[in-house]
Structure 1
Amino acid sequence: MSMVIKERIKGFICVTAHPGGCHKNVLSQIETIERSAKVPTQFKKAVIIGGTTGYGLSSRIAATFGAGCGTLNISLERPPRTGRTASAGWYNTVAFEQIARNKGYFARTLNADAFSQATKERACEIVRSEFGDIDLLIYSVAAPKRVDETTGISYQSVLKPIGEQLTSKTVNVATRAISDVTIAAASEAEITATVKVMGGEDWAAWVETFLAAGLLNKNFKTLAYSYIGSPITAAIYRKGTIGRAKDDLEQTAMQLNEKLAASKITGAASISVNKALVTQASSAIPILPLYVSILYKVMKEHNLHEDTTAQIKRLFSQISRLEQEKTTHSKSHSQWPPLFRLDDFELNPSVQAEVSRRWNAVNEANLSDMADLTGYWNDFLGLFGFGRKDIDYDLEVEENLPLDLF
């Protein structure tokens, strides 16, 4: 069955997705990577946890079309049904896997709850059968909740400050109205829940499960993604509940390095600290849309703006240089830093000074001069396959696209 698909916005999310637009978005990212110089790395067999949107999808694309990896993706996306679209992540995955397989790459998905131990065990079976072992695991999960299988307790993450309530500016991206928003301080239970959902516990569980199963290559590497950000966003982000979770994530990297070393695996666990961008996850964070809109304008004026593809391409280039240093200096293994700082352009002092000036001066009358709200809105719609000039959104399209799932 075919249908006309238009964007339908509810709150900070779009509840529809356009398969044709998602396909073109993925193809555009792939072409960007293919136009770039190849990034030779040791990676040939990768598991991506959350490889359907945002940084996770860009990581899968860069790993495959930049470094030549076969990839297994683990994610939980909404499939289509008659008269209802799938999630954008589903359509992104359909597009990616179709293109990747046509070019000879292994590309499959396990559509299941990443927090579940049963999912981890099933992934081990697939890796054992298809890869033998893995040399890269990227963890890019942005789920709002999880259930602890041991206790049965459900944990819901919250985006709140810690210690005291926060009042700050925000913008309604659709109406361009600027207003103050007050966010209550998180309770201890909310802080604990957010760390449980967004911290490093599940990342560690994935690595430990593969390690116990003997499925990690001796030079295995693993990455997770984090954000530090500006003083403007600190109260709601780095000093808030999500920041507490990111602290836990970074602590987990150190613990994983100790476990890998004890297992005689000359591998590494690192965090990539990325820049602020429009993603499905970031659009839910109060204050961030206005900050990101101003940041976009300033970084574009400084010719420093990067999207997720450019960020991950730069990350893989840094990794490739580390691998080349290993070969050049005859090291037994490459020395990965605890943090890959891809937020350096965002935190450039001149960029942050101008962002701060505009943040203090912005109002509805000068919003277009101070911020790139149009760019933000276009990127937001683009997450779901909308807003493209090369798609006629009045035409019917087939919404029921299947995935070849495990």
Structure 2
Amino acid sequence: MSERIITPRNRGFLFLDAHPAGCTRLVNDMWRSVAARPAEVLGEDAPVALVIGSSSGYGLAATVAGLARAGIRGVGVSFEKAPTERRTGTAGWYRTAATAELAEQAGREMHFLNGDAFSDAMKDQVADLIEERFGRLDHLIYSVAAPRRTDPETGVTYASALKPIGATARTQTLVFDEDGKPDVREVSTEPADEDEIAQTVAVMGGTDWERWVSHLAGRGLLAQGFSTAALSYIGSPLTADIYRQGTIGAAKAHLERTARTLDARLGELCGGRAVTSVNGAAVTQSSTAIPGIALYTGLLRGVLGGDMVSPVDQLSELWDQLTGVRPLETDEEGRVRLDTWELTDKVQDAVAERWQAATTETITDLADLDWFRGSVRQLYGFSVPGVDYSASVETDVAWPASR
């Protein structure tokens, strides 16, 4: 037993520990928010899904929505750190344990593997498990945000960079001091060189997604009508210099080209589909690291309030489309657009007006900072309603065992 009281310790948006009870409650709340289908398909007829990056952000939302709404069974893959004597496990470790428990209670056969999704060893492990337990794969959701990737063929490790392309980018960003007071400041980011662009594409583009599909196809595991979606983001013109027009944008463009290649290939192979799913803004562990995104998201919440569409609601819509409850709708680039609520002219004009007016003195009137700060803390299991943070909690939680 390793019970103790856990208090939040952080450096900016990065917290050093996670709260197991808070992470569990958060996953439970996500599950309860999903509207289950009136007549779910269970048992051997339930769709078999693989979610790569299943423990956080939109990947977690895909896993929870898939289990609670689409009745999926299958495999989730993530890379999390176990608890030690000195530190708690990562938040994703506890979220995975909570998701597995809910899946078991609902009668869903869901296996969770912890390791490097970029490696061929993990691809073999997943393929073996799918072959042994299910015999086929109906859907693959790819949601990996990593700072680096080692190519399993060459052994070369690539590192991603958050930089603009072509010129220095100057953007406003939001930070908080040690007392939690907000500060709006301008930051400058020098442009990436060609090697940094190429490395970012190698990490965050479509190469590994394509390797997963090829690996599973080579094992004869793709079901007739198999579909796969890689989760992506376009975002606002306000953040375009550092995001969509920067190194990350180059990687996203590569992801979209990969989708079109895979879509044609899967159509011939198994009558399948491959798409990118463009999701709306959300507070995630990866998005808070991008200059300007925190400010933008806080202002967006200030404009929309509760009309922001949560990740789990967006992924419920994606599952409906992938499983045929509603037609699969794509734009002219072959992308499923789950971000239209964010990018209307009315919303973007209102956010742009607040962006121009945002200063350290005015930000509390323009952005929903209480919501933003709470959302960041909830990424690590803190500030979750209904959790007693004065009580000691067991930190030595086991990784879910395969049944």
1:275 aligns with 2:271: no
Question: Conserved in 1, the CA contact under 8 Å of 2:36 and 2:70?
Answer: no
Q: Please, which moves more after superposition, 204-213 or 395-404? A: 395-404
Between the aligned partners of 1:299 and 1:319, the Cα distance in structure 2 is 28
Cα shift readout 1:45-78 (whole Å, capped 9, x = no counterpart): 1000000011101111111110111130111111
The aligned runs of 1:91-170 (5 Å cut-off) are 91-170=94-173
Q: Give the C-alpha shift of residue 36 in structure 1.
A: 6.8
Q: Give the C-alpha shift of residue 308 in structure 1.
A: 1.1
Between the aligned partners of 1:304 and 1:389, the Cα distance in structure 2 is 20
Which residue is equivalent to 1:201? 207
Q: Which of 345, 361, 364 is equivalent to 1:368?
A: 364
Between the aligned partners of 2:16 and 2:342, the Cα distance in structure 1 is 30
Question: Conserved in 2, the CA contact under 8 Å of 1:218 and 1:266?
Answer: yes
Question: Conserved in 2, the CA contact under 8 Å of 1:43 and 1:135?
Answer: no
Question: Conserved in 2, the CA contact under 8 Å of 1:199 and 1:246?
Answer: yes
Between the aligned partners of 2:374 and 2:107, the Cα distance in structure 1 is 33
Q: What letter matches 1:102 in structure 2?
A: Q
1:395 to 1:403, Cα distance in 2 relative to 1, 3 A: same
Which residue is equivalent to 2:78? 75
Which residue is equivalent to 1:188? 194
1:335 to 1:317, Cα distance in 2 relative to 1, 3 A: closer
Q: Secondary structure at the match of 2:161?
A: coil
1:297 aligns with 2:302: yes
Q: What letter matches 1:26 in structure 2?
A: V
Q: Give the C-alpha shift of residue 257 in structure 1.
A: 1.2
1:336 to 1:306, Cα distance in 2 relative to 1, 3 A: closer
Q: Secondary structure at the match of 1:258?
A: helix
Q: Which of 281, 284, 288 is equivalent to 2:289?
A: 284
Q: Give the C-alpha shift of residue 336 in structure 1.
A: 6.3
Q: Give the C-alpha shift of residue 405 in structure 1.
A: 4.3
Between the aligned partners of 2:279 and 2:329, the Cα distance in structure 1 is 20
1:102 to 1:177, Cα distance in 2 relative to 1, 3 A: same
The aligned runs of 1:213-228 (5 Å cut-off) are 213-228=219-234
Question: Conserved in 1, the CA contact under 8 Å of 2:227 and 2:322?
Answer: no
Q: Give the C-alpha shift of residue 84 in structure 1.
A: 1.4
Cα shift readout 1:356-397 (whole Å, capped 9, x = no counterpart): 111001112221211111111111111111012311212111
Between the aligned partners of 2:295 and 2:267, the Cα distance in structure 1 is 43
Which residue is equivalent to 1:86? 89
Report the RMSD for the aligned CA atoms in angstroms. 1.8
Between the aligned partners of 1:11 and 1:335, the Cα distance in structure 2 is 39
* Structure 2 unmatched runs, 5+: none
Which residue is equivalent to 2:10? 9
Which residue is equivalent to 2:390? 394
Q: What letter matches 2:168 in structure 1?
A: Q
Which residue is equivalent to 2:244? 238
1:383 aligns with 2:379: yes
Between the aligned partners of 1:84 and 1:115, the Cα distance in structure 2 is 26
Q: Secondary structure at the match of 1:66?
A: helix
Q: Give the C-alpha shift of residue 15 in structure 1.
A: 2.1
Cα shift readout 1:101-159 (whole Å, capped 9, x = no counterpart): 12211111111100001110111101000110110000000111111222222111111
Q: What letter matches 1:284 in structure 2?
A: A
Q: Please, which moves more after superposition, 137-146 or 101-110? A: 101-110
Between the aligned partners of 1:25 and 1:272, the Cα distance in structure 2 is 24
Between the aligned partners of 2:38 and 2:164, the Cα distance in structure 1 is 42
Which residue is equivalent to 1:261? 267
Q: What letter matches 1:277 in structure 2?
A: A
Which residue is equivalent to 1:58? 61
Question: Conserved in 2, the CA contact under 8 Å of 1:139 and 1:225?
Answer: yes
1:103 to 1:35, Cα distance in 2 relative to 1, 3 A: closer
1:373 to 1:187, Cα distance in 2 relative to 1, 3 A: same
1:203 to 1:161, Cα distance in 2 relative to 1, 3 A: same
1:38 to 1:361, Cα distance in 2 relative to 1, 3 A: farther
Q: Matched residue pairs, number?
A: 394
